[in-house]
Structure 1
């Protein structure tokens, strides 16, 4: 859940010093795969690693492995200009750092890779490998987020739906809990109930990028069974393939 942190007023003020002022969004350009600039963002940093899994593994490691695989898969599909973005530092400054990097690179598409947890109040305790750990087996699945504050909201939503459909075709289900009152401040509007696309306006990496932008929570690492699946090469390949197929369809429709 730490990957779903909106920008506070102090951070927004600081962002003005780090992120260049927004420019009027340009019209969508034709997608030529070799030239289409895709930034695949590794969620979080080694210093601010996000959630801990049920077996005490940092989210950043999960994000890095999957983002690297997604990047390789996109390049193999002809998207030669795809770039893997890894940032350092603490959580808030790193958010604006990655947005600045994507905007400076004039990205055509920004995709942020994360893995999910749950609010603290839903956690249960167990012991793993001699250490006290936390888990929640109540929820599982992936989810996709877009922001109405993004200058290309419509195309962001289109891409999220395409990726969601590809994941569904692989037999994967989305996390439905974001519509529930128990989620508290993490409760979100469901924009597509078929493939699990949610609206989250305040996310820095979605709202302040000048390209179409989607955040993927690839699965729940606080769920003990799904954590094991997310660690498997088979599941990682499945997700990377679905993402690449969704981006490919998105490109064809530009």
Structure 2
């Protein structure tokens, strides 16, 4: 994936120059309490979807089983989701890429989404496991960590979001569409072995969890969903997540869910 990394780096550099909105607000400004807008009617060409690339080049998230950073997986998939949504008629969809360290970048995302008056904030990530569940192996001459014990996608929403009901509805719709693609969700978040990463399962059929501690879910003034698209610490699923076929399946599921959402409103 060395060539892919260089391509991603170039694309990121360009997109950071023209990202969604000025994102320089302080954490205090992002926390300012403001009146929330009511849920928007879903007119597809006008419905503002922010597709957020999880993490940053400086704070790249998890490492895959083959030592590739999560940020690269997130960037490629988020771009594909954005393109798919636009091709399906959601012309106001925007890709959001932020820079900097982890926590400051979270408030940049919130400010960008809120300033851009987003109707939906979708944050794209790829999963790992707690350190205590990792095994070691050697890949391409380098030591790496892996865990083949768990796999699958998962969806997270926050009850602290002002549009929690809409967020949960959208997450369920995305989950159902992923299930129809033959994909399964990651069930381990309910297990004691997950420790502080253990979450409340809100929908046991399609894998929607509650996670109030995520800034991008709780502090956005729009509906907000975080998608863990698959486990890159699982050696087989890492390869699947790196394939155009799986990326297209996930992007198609998101677009189908959004069409369903609009038709229901």
TM-score grouping bracket, smaller chain normalisation: over 0.9
Matches within 5 A, 1:122-161: 122-161=133-172
1:9-36 deviations in Å (ceiling 9; x for gaps):
xxxxx96434162322222221111111
Aligned to 1:53: 64
The unaligned stretches of length 5 or more in structure 1 are 1-13
Task: Check the 8 A contact 1:42/1:60 in 2, yes or no.
Answer: yes
What are the ranges of 5 or more consecutive residues in structure 2 without an aligned counterpart?
1-24
TM-superposition CA deviations, 1:193-239 (whole Å, max 9, x none): 00000000110000000000000000000000000000011000000
Aligned to 1:179: 190
Give matches, 1:1-254, under 5 Å. 16-19=27-30, 21-254=32-265
Instruction: Give the conservation status (yes or no) of the 8 Å contact 1:206–1:213.
Output: yes
- Once residues 193 and 22 of structure 1 are traced to their aligned partners in structure 2, the CA distance between those partners, rounded to angstroms, is 33
Cα deviation code 1:103-147 (max 9, x no counterpart) = 000000000000000000000000000000000000000000000
Describe the SS at the equivalent of 2:196.
helix
> TM (normalized to structure 2)?
0.89
Any conservation in 2 of the 1:18–1:97 contact (CA below 8 Å)? Answer: no
Question: Segments of 4+ in structure 1 off by > 6 A?
Answer: none
The TM-score, its normalising length taken from structure 1, stands at 0.93
CA RMSD of aligned residues (A): 1.1
Distance 1:176 1:167, change over 3 A: same
The Cα of 1:82 is off from its aligned counterpart by 0.3
2:27–2:104 CA contact under 8 A, matched in 1: no
Give the total of aligned pairs.
241
